[in-house]
């Protein structure tokens, strides 16, 4: 690549970044777009009701520790046979057992779609381990933590981080 082409690419990237910022998108959120799951999952996560479920100390902020603790507990609830991995039967649940007690009904429904399981199953073995589940949600936290403070306030929580 010539110097002139490199300068042009850098200018183009800078202009795109400025335009995205002006439109209310962060570059972290845009690059994280594909790893955040479905539009329904994203929509159901970004509610005040879900934020309150994760805000363990009720300070109207969700810390990285609260986020990880919540998703650790959520994994444990989904892992019915306690083998350290959630298979497809556990993932979708039964008709009488398809709502997660520590999540809203809408969020639980969106999380338990097979599309979400596939997004988290990084080694493609048709199971989601606790490590895969937490790593996926760590990326969600990072995308939502637009200020980089390891805390998510209500404004950042309600901001949509995908274009879905």
- Whole-model pTM? 0.74
Residues 6+ apart with CB under 8 A from 154: 48, 51, 60
> 148: how many CB neighbours lie within 10 A of its CB?
9
The mean pLDDT value for 123-132 works out to 97
For the chain, domain boundaries: 1-27, 32-158
* pLDDT of 8 higher than 60: no
Tell me the C-alpha distance between 136 and 125, whole Å: 16
Pick 32-158's CATH classification: 1.10.238, 1.10.150, 3.30.43, 1.10.3470.
Answer: 1.10.238
Q: What is the pLDDT of residues 104-121, one digit of tens each?
A: 999 999 999 999 999 999
pLDDT of residue 39: 86
- Rounded to the nearest 5°, which phi and psi values hold at 78? -75, -30
């Amino acid at each position: 690549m010539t110097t002139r082409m490199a300068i042009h690419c850098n200018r183009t990237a800078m202009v795109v970044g400025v335009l995205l910022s002006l439109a209310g998108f962060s570059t972290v959120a845009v690059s994280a777009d594909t790893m955040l799951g479905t539009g329904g999952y994203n929509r159901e996560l970004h509610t005040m009701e879900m934020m309150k479920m994760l805000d363990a100390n009720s300070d109207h902020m969700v810390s990285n520790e609260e986020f990880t603790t919540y998703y650790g507990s959520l994994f444990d609830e989904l892992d019915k046979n306690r083998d350290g991995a959630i298979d497809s039967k556990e993932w979708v649940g039964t008709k009488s057992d398809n709502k997660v007690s520590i999540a809203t009904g809408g969020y639980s429904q969106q999380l338990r779609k097979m599309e979400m399981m596939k997004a988290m199953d990084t080694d493609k073995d048709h199971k989601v381990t606790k490590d895969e589940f937490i790593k996926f949600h760590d990326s969600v936290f990072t995308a939502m933590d637009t200020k980089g403070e390891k805390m998510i306030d209500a404004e950042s929580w309600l901001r949509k981080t995908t274009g879905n």
